[in-house]
Structure 1
Amino acid sequence: MSKTKKNEFRPNDFVVYPAHGVGKIVSIEEQEVAGFKLELFVISFEKDKMTLRVPTQKATEAGLRALSSPDVVAHAMKTLKGKAKVKKAMWSRRAQEYEQKINSGDLIAIAEVVRDLHRADDQREQSYSERQLYEAALERLTREIAAALGNDETQAAREIDEVLVGRAA
């Protein structure tokens, strides 16, 4: 098992934590827990008004990663352009799969959820749970693309929307 290089992430770095999306490392602190000294990344998720402490030794194991590269962002945007792939499985099963993709922290998987659940104005209504999953995936995608490209979220949201609306045409 390889240890995370201590200096892989630094304060003020944006990182992606699978279950919560994009956060910012505020500091690296030491805490004593049950007699052991632990070094922790303190990660702030401003939008969710949440702070997470992740042991630096377990960060990679926990899925903490740097923001996606421009190549991955481009691949995610290309994924959005594709045709929705909706399996014939029952909704509860598909919903579970979508949830797993969203929480995987994998930008391409998240883009697939957005693509598959996006509805053009003239398409059938979405159920409440479909809408919730779509919005969760869209928010994760928007935040990471904005952070990765150094844009604001409004700009990233507009670009994503243009791709989604453009493919329906």
Structure 2
Amino acid sequence: MDLLGYLGYLTPIESASLREGTRPVFSPNDLVVYPAQGVGRVERIQRQEIGGASTEFYIVRILSNNVTLMVPVPNARNVGLRPVCSATSGEAILESLKDRSDFTGYTGQNWNRRYREYSEKLKSGALEDVAYVLKELLLIGNDKELSFGERRLLEQAMNLITLELSFCLEKPQKEIQERINSLFEDVLNKDRDE
């Protein structure tokens, strides 16, 4: 096994494709989403030699905190690097926040278990998973005061969603957050009326 595979960067198949040559999917200036970090911009594609193997890396600057990540081009899909969602998908995510059918209510379930579940969903990078965490925590927060850990996860989920939707819907992040808050007020008012 070569060093890249040994370090966990690449599987043996990816290492082989790296030696054969892999073409980048993203280009400089493309907006991408990195799981649990949020929206970033591909600054450049850079070739580096690691352990005797030469590979290309996406150099991605995360917009919310200015962190720079190096993502091996052949491993980008496996780590969850993806393009920012489309406007249609963004609107569908907002609509999904109104749906309470998958919300079971605060059950007093072990916080550690819920925290792990929510953290895994945020790390998945899937916008639907992030929306699920956001919805759950907003609805739980309506039933009880959120703990410090829950508030941190809520803030992270809100930031991840609002930043990505602000790019795909071409609206300010604050406007997206106000829209989400308004959606939840409508849902909660509808529940009170029933």
Task: Return the alpha-carbon distance in structure 2 between the equivalents of residues 121 and 19 of structure 1.
Answer: 22
Match of 2:176 among 152, 156, 159: 156
Letter in 1 for 2:79: A
Aligned match of 2:154: 134
- CA distances 1:41-90 after superposition (whole Å, capped 9, x unpaired): 00001322210001111111211111112232122112211224346331
Aligned match of 2:64: 47
Give the unaligned 5+ runs of structure 2.
1-12, 190-194
- CA distances 1:84-114 after superposition (whole Å, capped 9, x unpaired): 4346331111111111111111111111111
Larger Rg: 2
* 1:146 and 2:162 aligned: no
- CA distances 1:112-154 after superposition (whole Å, capped 9, x unpaired): 1111111598753111111111111111111111111222212
Match of 1:56 among 53, 73, 85: 73
If the length of structure 2 is used for normalisation, what is the TM-score?
0.78
Q: Is the 8 A contact 1:120 1:165 kept in 2?
A: no
What's the secondary structure of 1:81's corresponding residue? coil
Task: Return the alpha-carbon distance in structure 2 between the equivalents of residues 121 and 8 of structure 1.
Answer: 40
Paired positions, count: 169
Q: Is the 8 A contact 1:75 1:108 kept in 2?
A: no
RMSD, aligned α-carbons: 2.3
Q: Is the 8 A contact 2:36 2:160 kept in 1?
A: no
Query: Structure 1 vs Structure 2: percent identity of aligned residues?
Result: 30
Match of 1:99 among 119, 127, 131: 119
Higher RCO structure (Cα 8 Å, ≥6 apart):
1
Aligned match of 1:110: 130
If the length of structure 1 is used for normalisation, what is the TM-score?
0.89
Give the unaligned 5+ runs of structure 1.
none
